[in-house]
Chain A
Amino acid sequence: MSTFILLLLTGLGLAGLYYLVASGLSLVFGLADVLNFAHGLFLSVGAYATWWAATNLPGAGSEGLGFVLAVVFGVVAGAVIASIVELVLIRPLYRRTIAQVLVTVGLSLAGVALLQAIWGADPRPFPRPAWASRVTMIGGAAVPNSSLLLAVSAAMVLAGLLAFLRFTRVGLVIRAGVEDRSMVTALGIDVRKAFTLVFAIGGAAAALAGILAGVQFSVVSPGQGTSLLIFGFIVVVIGGMGSVTGTAWAAAAVGLLQQFVNYYASGLGDICVVALLAVVLLVRPQGLAGVAGGAHA
Chain B
Amino acid sequence: MSTELVTPEQAAHQDQRWRARWWPVVRRFLPVGVLVLLAAVPYTNLRIPVLFDRPLNAPGTLHLIAICLVFGGLALSYDLMFGRTGMLSFGHALYFAAGGYGTAILLAQTTWPLWTVALVAVVGATVLAAVLGSVALRTKGIAFAMVTLAFAQIGAIAASRNPGRLTGGEEGLSLDGRRLPEALVGVVNTVNLYWLALAFVALVAFVVHRIDDAPAGRVLAAVRDDDRRVDVLGLSPYRYRLLAFVIAGALAAIGGVVYVLLIGGANPGLTASDLTLSLLVMVVLGGPGTRWGPLAGGVVFAYLDHRLTAVGTSDVVERLPGVLSGPLSEPLFILGTVFILAVYFFPGGLAGLAQRLRGPGLRGARWLRGRGLRASGRTPS
Known interface pairs A35-B145, A274-B151, A285-B143; A113-B378 also in contact (CB < 8 Å): no
Tell me, in angstroms, the Cα distance from A98 to B368 when the chains sit together: 7
Determine the chain B residues whose CB is within 8 A of the CB of A237 once the complex forms. 143, 146-147
Known interface pairs A96-B369, A105-B280; A230-B147 also in contact (CB < 8 Å): no
By beta carbon, the residue of chain B nearest A97 is: B375
- B4 vs chain A, min Cβ distance (A): 53
- B94 vs chain A, min Cβ distance (A): 12
Contact A285 B330 (CB under 8 A): no
One digit per residue, 1 when the CB lies within 8 angstroms of any chain B CB and 0 when it does not, for chain A 92-120 equals 11011111011101111111111011100
B300 contacts A by Cβ under 8 Å: no
One digit per residue, 1 when the CB lies within 8 angstroms of any chain B CB and 0 when it does not, for chain A 212-243 equals 00000000000000100010011011000100
Contact B379 A107 (CB under 8 A): no
A73 contacts B by Cβ under 8 Å: no
Contact A117 B284 (CB under 8 A): no
Contact B150 A106 (CB under 8 A): no
Tell me, in angstroms, the Cα distance from A237 to B145 when the chains sit together: 11
Contact B378 A297 (CB under 8 A): yes
A294 contacts B by Cβ under 8 Å: yes
Which of A110, A114, A285, A296 is packed against the most chain B CB atoms within 10 Å? A110
Tell me, in angstroms, the Cα distance from A114 to B323 when the chains sit together: 11
- B31 vs chain A, min Cβ distance (A): 28
B194 contacts A by Cβ under 8 Å: no
Contact A99 B347 (CB under 8 A): yes
Q: Please classify how large the interface on chain A is, using the bins under 10, 10 to 19, 20 to 34, 35 or more.
A: 35 or more
Chain A residues with a Cβ under 8 A of chain B: 29, 33, 35, 37, 89, 92-93, 95-99, 101-103, 105-114, 116-118, 226, 230, 233-234, 236-237, 241, 266-267, 270-271, 274, 277-278, 281-282, 285-286, 292-294, 296-297
Contact B380 A293 (CB under 8 A): yes
Contact A98 B88 (CB under 8 A): yes
B113 contacts A by Cβ under 8 Å: no
One digit per residue, 1 when the CB lies within 8 angstroms of any chain A CB and 0 when it does not, for chain B 356-381 equals 00000000000011011101111111
27 chain-A/chain-B pairs, Cβ below 8 angstroms: A29-B142, A35-B146, A92-B344, A93-B344, A97-B376, A98-B368, A101-B88, A106-B281, A106-B336, A108-B336, A109-B333, A109-B335, A110-B332, A110-B333, A113-B331, A118-B326, A118-B327, A233-B149, A267-B161, A281-B135, A281-B138, A281-B143, A285-B143, A286-B379, A293-B378, A296-B373, A297-B378
- B380 vs chain A, min Cβ distance (A): 5
